[in-house]
Amino acid sequence: MKTKKTAGNMIFSTIIVMVGLLFTKGSGFLRDILVGIKFDQDLYRDAFTLAFTIPDLFYNLLVGGAIFSTVAPYMSGAISVGEEKRGIKTVSIFISVISVVMMIACGIGTWYSKPIYSLYAMGHSGENGIDPQTLELAANASKLLFPQIFFIMLAALCIGIMNSYKRFTATSFGPTIYNVCVLLSLVFFAGSSPEKLYMTTGGILVSAIIYFLFQYFMGFDKLKHFKFNFDPFDKEFKKLLRRAIPILFSSSIVQVNVVILNYFAGKFDSGSIYGFRNASTIWQIPYGIFTVAISTVMTPELAGLNESKKYKEASALLSRSLKTSMFIMIPASLFIWLESLDVVKAIYQWTSSYTDTNAQTASVFLKGFVTAIITASVIHIINHAFYAIGKTRVPFWSSFVGMLLNPLFCWTFIKLGMGPLSLSAAYSLTNFLQMVFLLFIYCTNKELAPKKMIPMLIKSVVCAIVAFVHVFIIDMFLPAQGGKITQLAIIGIKGIACLFIYFGMGLALKMDEATFWIDKIRSKFIKRSHKKAEESE
């Protein structure tokens, strides 16, 4: 009975996180569109974009994914075995130490922003180098963005702690609050002058402070117990740090891969780097909403089950998480492959400055990312499963090998004449090999290994093929043409048709992934209606 109740609660928690991520992604897209509109000169648009790169790199190198993947599993494990006080003490030390480190890093970044950006320019310049005025504007604007990442870190720590208490509602909409504040900064301050650029980044700093305060007060009843405690020699802290360091390196490697891919993108026609970024953003929409939501809810629960040595339940939870993610990602990948050009145009082609050639370039990259939508989802969930059981070194070695293979595959595919498709194809192949490696290592422990994956995959592929054929036929008679509203409506109709046909096939084949959510949601509402009826009597 308790297992069923837990499963039902996890479903609603996952839905809440998905809705929060959907709002976050949507507001993020609005932000990107608004940047292009408000900064109507390339000089200020480029300077604004460049100003974020090094502060973001600092954040990912020093903290990055280590917060969510370390704090939540550790604290969840402590709570599950009745050692909450021990967890609070250790996490308090963790927060104190990384806060001091981040403050020093932000101070260095702010004080030495110009020489740091000069080094960045040397590493990323083309034949003529980055325009000196763009570089100076970016360096000055970054002085307000370095302090911003300190408050982003504090907000992320609040979210990690609250997730360990399974308080997902309190953490799901914080990033949206931040994005809305950034949008307001762009609306009121952005423009093509140095003063307006600096006012905008100042507004973004204030947005980060509001974001942190919102998360802190939403979880004040729990967060008030965490106090400043700078004790880097504590044994439990050292244990937690040993978990965090491989995750930190893994996050850093992701950033290195981004630099590598952008380097190769620069070898193609003008607009390839921007097109590659567009494609990367689009394929991560289903991944960033569904897979991340599933792993966010799964990780603290899985850590608690592992700490309590409930390995059978842990295996069942991981199996359900993987199956649910792939059940969604398989049709998403096929739909994006079929509608790649129309999807790119619908999202990015708002003005004549984004040409059909730009859209075609992004579409080519996007087609190469199709398999990555699935493989990256599996990697993300398995990585978090490793984090939940405390084996953080395996994901690190997987990322490290991927960092070596990715440029090798890029270079090979370019030599084979695959053109721009080489980059996303190389990334997808690298992801596939990483997925195989991670699954092989994780499944060596038979107790924790996911179960009955092959039958589910076969049925999902059958459902996807049927949905793909129907959408292909619809596409022949209903191309995405006309004005922007019409264009978006047609893409939406096709997406809904794909979803209903795929889901209907899943129900016809009696797939648990199709019936599980419906049954749980239905039972939840039936219980609520019965409870209201009893109260009224």
The answer as to whether 447 is a domain residue is: no
Dmax (CA) of the chain: 80
| pLDDT confidence band for 441 (50 / 70 / 90) | very high
CA 202, CA 145: separation in Å to the nearest integer? Answer: 8
The listed range with the strongest mean pLDDT (183-187, 265-269, 354-358, 439-443) is: 439-443
Please check whether residue 371 is in contact with residue 432, taking contact to mean a CB–CB distance below 8 angstroms.
yes
pLDDT digits (tens, 9 = 90+) for 219-259: 888 888 888 888 888 888 888 888 777 777 776 676 667 66
The answer as to whether 207 is a domain residue is: yes
Q: How much is the pLDDT for 274?
A: 66
Which residue, 507, 504, 356, 374, is CA-closest to 432?
A: 374
Q: Quickly tell me which residue has 């795929």 as its tokens.
A: 502
Range from 95-104, 143-152, 162-171, 227-236 carrying the lowest mean pLDDT = 162-171
pLDDT over threshold 90, residue 536: no
69 or 463: whose pLDDT is higher?
Answer: 463
Q: How much is the pLDDT for 41?
A: 65
Concatenated DSSP letters for 189-258? H--SSHHHHHHHHHHHHHHHHHHHHHHHHHTHHHHTT------TT-HHHHHHHHHHHHHHHHHHHHHHHH
Q: Exposed, middle or buried: residue 274 (CB in 10 Å: 0-12, 13-18, 19+)? A: middle
- For the entire predicted model, the pTM comes to 0.72
Q: How much is the pLDDT for 36?
A: 64
Q: Residue 281 carries which DSSP code? A: H
| Domain span holding position 99 | 20-232
| pLDDT confidence band for 1 (50 / 70 / 90) | very low
pLDDT over threshold 90, residue 436: yes
| pLDDT confidence band for 440 (50 / 70 / 90) | very high
The answer as to whether 50 is a domain residue is: yes
Concatenated DSSP letters for 243-263? HHHHHHHHHHHHHHHHHHHHH
pLDDT digits (tens, 9 = 90+) for 285-296: 888 778 887 887
The answer as to whether 63 is a domain residue is: yes
CA 146, CA 59: separation in Å to the nearest integer? Answer: 9
Q: How many domains does the chain have?
A: 1
Half-sphere exposure of 83 (CA within 13 A, CB side): 14
The answer as to whether 188 is a domain residue is: yes
Concatenated DSSP letters for 433-445? HHHHHHHHHHTTS
3-state secondary structure 299-325: HHHHHHHHHCCCHHHHHHHHHHHHHHH
Q: How much is the pLDDT for 262?
A: 63
Q: How much is the pLDDT for 516?
A: 65
Q: How much is the pLDDT for 129?
A: 44
pLDDT over threshold 70, residue 81: yes
| pLDDT confidence band for 125 (50 / 70 / 90) | very low
Tokens describing residue 321? 């998480």
The answer as to whether 7 is a domain residue is: no
CA 371, CA 375: separation in Å to the nearest integer? Answer: 6
Tokens describing residue 286? 């289903």
The answer as to whether 82 is a domain residue is: yes
Please check whether residue 79 is in contact with residue 304, taking contact to mean a CB–CB distance below 8 angstroms.
yes
The answer as to whether 251 is a domain residue is: no
Phi, psi dihedrals of residue 181, rounded to the nearest 5°: -65, -40
Q: How much is the pLDDT for 142?
A: 84
**What is the pLDDT of the chain when averaged over all its residues?**
79
